[in-house]
Structure 1
């Protein structure tokens, strides 16, 4: 194993491609689930029973990307505020917009199509506020947003190291408590009492973020190759495990999905760094739009499916959803291009005027270069 001497690129197409794959896997999994709920043979969607592993892949990617874009900021407290604001803007800006549009759409359906009451959401103020701010265990009109709560938690833990390297002790204690909590579940021994949000704070998903962090540090420092046979084995394990693991069994997901996802990530990034592989443009575009596809796909699938059933076209449900999947992918890219990018660029350009002069002095110099080029933070930031 050799120490890597060549400069590490700011952006990696492999990460964008993996984000596209993860979003498609989750979408296909929910199509598979929906077909089962309405008692229609899932057909081709049945091959994507393991698609929920796209979430595990997202978490590994997140650990990799957040380290790649922010490792140089560790132990530099002046970057803490810019770090958190970029993270929060990237998560919340588009989420709030999609949440608003989905809410308006749902209320419209309830008003003009009462037979579509199968889409239920109370809009009770406290429940809605929890969803808007992604409080752990919230209920959202966009069901996939439970994963964003974990993303925010990981951002906080990483941010502690930007404030001070000595605060690494807190993420380390969280990992230790996570492992002990898992051992307690498996052995029946009570190492420490459980409390509200215990399962969230000490979730096995913490380990998948760490897989990404360790993977980045290994690639950044060392030159090594992953045998193609190991990549193929990881791919097989990922899909086989996904077919036999219950999505709720998070500890089995870590070994059956998280570790293979790490191997696949390292393998693809290594191929890119060696210059042996390039990705089609449409894959990279879908990677850019993956956050939007991830947010919108469940409401769209539900509405299209039930409208077809209402019109007594059950034979068109599968074909209709295949067409909708292609359409959603294209539409997500258009939303990313014409809505998400302009909104984020506008916020990144103007939000700094609200805060003090010293903050602007640190950040605006970077923005002059990075925003037009879609910086590594903007382009590669995880879901």
Structure 2
């Protein structure tokens, strides 16, 4: 039996999947903004929004793999926080502050409170700039909870148990039509269980060796397709990014999370059997910037897409233009700004052994989109 546990730091299939998930979000937003450039809106492309569900499951998996052996070691807390901050914040701050400055120059009113929420990522139900930043609030909350595990195993386990039970309680209340709303619903989000399912997959592969095989992945993909077909058939959706109480935001999110956890498990199982091209790994590495930057680029590209012939827009040319422009601009940002900046910050701020470990597990340490 071939073990995957010792190879988790270089799971190229997972890196590719992360890139695909980011691209699904790009496709979703290109389609969602179709009215802005006079193109058709295709409802069947709405499934792209679930790229964020996969990201949450993936975050739980990666943080567990990257830091699971450090649980109960408070001395690693500083390095853990620095790694998370270096990975998450510099690209975020550059994009948020740059976009706010550009909008101001263009004469568009910018709410300082929105900018502050976006760079500090405190729990809130108010909008962010750009809109996609809302998911990073959940990432920050998860990182903080995991920090408790590092500082004190018993306290951390208790906190996760209470957090999970509270989220399950919200599911029960939602089934009765009595879900808790307002800001508490953020903390009770079913996304919490996505993180925990990802942690479960990480623990499973860290403790047990699995034979390589495609069956688990195919079964999980079939389950996901069935859910997406049902979603389209019955019109099951979240009411918006700040919806944490509807059926789509509670029980349906749980079902999708289970399917994505199965897919993640399947990806690790096929790692020894497939050869992922370097381009696929690069797409995964740039996925965070793609996720953050594409909607900003879209707002400019729409002004070009609106001038395309109607016949081409009807065929999806406008969609393709937005997708390509947003992706290429983000890749350029990743290569010229994000990658060299994060590398320099790791070398400067992290202890030598921590920086070496961080670089050595680069393929598994990027927990954001």
TM range (shorter): 0.7 to 0.9
Residue of structure 2 equivalent to 1:72: 69
Matched, 1:186 2:172: no
> Cα distance, 1:131 vs. partner?
2.0
> Cα distance, 1:95 vs. partner?
0.4
Q: Measure, in 1, the Cα distance between the counterparts of 2:297 and 2:132.
A: 13
Q: Which moved more, 1:210-219 or 1:132-141?
A: 132-141
Q: Measure, in 2, the Cα distance between the counterparts of 1:271 and 1:204.
A: 28
Q: Measure, in 2, the Cα distance between the counterparts of 1:320 and 1:134.
A: 33
> Structure 2 vs 1, CA of residues 242 and 23 (structure 1 numbering), >3 Å: closer, same or farther?
farther
> Cα distance, 1:15 vs. partner?
1.9
Structure 1: where are the runs of 5+ without partners?
111-119, 353-362
Residue of structure 2 equivalent to 1:141: 129
> Cα distance, 1:347 vs. partner?
1.2
Residue of structure 2 equivalent to 1:153: 141
> Cα distance, 1:316 vs. partner?
5.3
> Cα distance, 1:222 vs. partner?
2.2
> Structure 2 vs 1, CA of residues 229 and 269 (structure 1 numbering), >3 Å: closer, same or farther?
closer
Is the Cα–Cα contact under 8 Å of residues 4 and 222 in structure 1 kept in the other structure?
yes
Matched, 1:376 2:364: no
Q: Measure, in 1, the Cα distance between the counterparts of 2:197 and 2:304.
A: 42
Is the Cα–Cα contact under 8 Å of residues 285 and 333 in structure 1 kept in the other structure?
no
Residue of structure 1 equivalent to 2:163: 174
Q: Measure, in 1, the Cα distance between the counterparts of 2:4 and 2:308.
A: 63
Q: Measure, in 2, the Cα distance between the counterparts of 1:228 and 1:147.
A: 26
SS at match of 2:10: coil
> Cα distance, 1:336 vs. partner?
1.6
> Cα distance, 1:35 vs. partner?
1.5
Matched, 1:30 2:29: yes
TM-score by length of 2: 0.86
Which has more radius of gyration? Answer: 1
Residue of structure 1 equivalent to 2:349: 351
TM-score by length of 1: 0.83
Matched, 1:246 2:237: yes
SS at match of 1:283: helix
Q: Measure, in 2, the Cα distance between the counterparts of 1:90 and 1:228.
A: 29
Is the Cα–Cα contact under 8 Å of residues 224 and 259 in structure 2 kept in the other structure?
yes
Q: Cα deviation per residue 1:326-347 (whole Å; 9 max; x = unaligned)?
A: 2432332232222111111111
Q: Measure, in 1, the Cα distance between the counterparts of 2:145 and 2:44.
A: 36
Q: Measure, in 2, the Cα distance between the counterparts of 1:152 and 1:34.
A: 28
RMSD over aligned CA atoms reads 2.6
Is the Cα–Cα contact under 8 Å of residues 24 and 49 in structure 2 kept in the other structure?
yes
> Cα distance, 1:28 vs. partner?
0.8
> Structure 2 vs 1, CA of residues 286 and 92 (structure 1 numbering), >3 Å: closer, same or farther?
same
Residue of structure 2 equivalent to 1:200: 186
> Cα distance, 1:6 vs. partner?
6.3
Matched, 1:342 2:340: yes
Q: Cα deviation per residue 1:258-304 (whole Å; 9 max; x = unaligned)?
A: 111111111111000xx211112221111111011101111222221
SS at match of 2:238: coil
Q: Measure, in 1, the Cα distance between the counterparts of 2:346 and 2:217.
A: 41
Is the Cα–Cα contact under 8 Å of residues 193 and 254 in structure 2 kept in the other structure?
no
Structure 1 residue corresponding to 2:219, chosen from 207, 216, 230: 230
> Cα distance, 1:252 vs. partner?
3.4
SS at match of 1:91: helix
> Structure 2 vs 1, CA of residues 145 and 241 (structure 1 numbering), >3 Å: closer, same or farther?
farther
> Cα distance, 1:37 vs. partner?
5.9
